[in-house]
């Protein structure tokens, strides 16, 4: 059962120095640490990415709580709302039916969902490994170990900006996208994938083209 009760919409502190037509992405996750740190590393012209704070209480990190937190944030019609969810908590046994229901509810409310199987760290790993290196990592611990081996260190409570330069986002996007094309299962992936690339695709599409790093500008141009 969700522990969130009587949640009232909370206003965001929008950046008043940005253009009136800037696009705001409001993101909520079941990961208390990595997504917020990761997206705070990037500043792109014409977009803002606000990652809603995730409670450290594990009992409030279920998919339904993520959805309710996102619904509890005041937003404007043109804002995009996204849920980033790991599958390792939800796709076994009786949980999967409820998980499907929550995803369906989110999409009916205009909220996009980007799943990572098994975990968000797979997206981080795509910055340093190609798709063929991640398919056999069967749980979150294995993904974190591989990420630690590649980086020499990894602590999800303290990500380092230098490990995820903007230049590596394009390669991560391509690796994740190409792997996802091979994944079966539809809404609930049967094998490893990270659909965080879909969020980046939306971010890039709304960024100011002339101020994108060359690698991201090339991605934007290829989607036209």
The answer to the question of residue 11 being in a domain is no
Quote helix, strand, coil % in the chain, to nearest 5: 40, 15, 45
> What pLDDT, in 10s, does the model give residues 81-134?
999 999 976 777 678 889 999 999 999 999 999 999 999 999 999 999 999 999
pTM: 0.89
Query: For 144-200, how does the pLDDT look when each residue is reduced to its tens digit (9 = 90+)?
Result: 999 999 999 999 999 999 999 999 999 999 999 999 999 999 999 999 999 999 999
**Residue 162 structural domain:** 23-222
Tally of structural domains, the chain: 1
Single out the residue of 223, 150, 221, 134 nearest to residue 183, CA to CA: 134
Question: Would you say residue 152 lies in a domain?
Answer: yes
Query: For residue 135, what are the contacts with CB-CB under 8 A and spacing of at least 6?
Result: 179, 191, 192
Whether residue 13 lies inside any domain: the answer is: no
Residue 9 resides in a domain:
no
Identify whether 5 is part of a domain: no
Domain-embedded: residue 10 = no
Please choose, from the candidates 139, 62, 73, 135, the residue with its C-alpha nearest in 3D space to the C-alpha of residue 103.
62
The Cα 164–Cα 219 span in angstroms is 17
Q: Which residues contact 46 (CB under 8 A, 6 or more apart)?
A: 18, 19, 21, 22, 23, 206, 207, 208, 211
In a domain, 69, yes or no: yes
Residue at token pair 């704070």: 53
Answer yes or no: is 6 within a domain. no
Sign of CA dihedral 12, 32, 63, 44: positive
């Amino acid at each position: 059962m969700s522990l969130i009760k009587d949640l009232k919409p909370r206003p965001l502190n929008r950046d008043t120095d940005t253009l009136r037509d800037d696009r705001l992405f409001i993101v909520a996750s079941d990961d208390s640490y990595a997504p917020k740190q990761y997206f705070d590393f990037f500043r792109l012209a014409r977009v803002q990415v606000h990652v809603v704070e995730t409670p450290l209480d594990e009992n409030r990190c279920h998919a339904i709580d993520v959805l309710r937190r996102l619904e509890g944030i005041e937003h404007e019609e043109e804002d995009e709302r996204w849920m980033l969810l790991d599958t390792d908590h939800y796709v076994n046994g009786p949980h999967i039916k409820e998980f499907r229901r929550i995803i369906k509810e989110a999409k009916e409310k205009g909220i996009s969902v980007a799943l990572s199987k098994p975990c968000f760290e797979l997206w981080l790993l795509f910055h340093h490994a190609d798709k063929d290196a991640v398919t056999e990592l069967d749980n979150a611990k294995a993904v974190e170990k591989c990420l630690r081996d590649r980086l020499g260190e990894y602590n999800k409570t303290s990500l380092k900006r230098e490990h995820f330069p903007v230049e590596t986002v394009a390669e991560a996007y391509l690796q994740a996208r190409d792997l996802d094309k091979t994944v079966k299962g539809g809404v609930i992936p049967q094998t490893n994938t990270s659909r965080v690339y879909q969020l980046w695709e939306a971010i890039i599409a709304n960024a100011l083209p002339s101020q994108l790093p060359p690698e991201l500008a090339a991605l934007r141009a290829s989607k036209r």
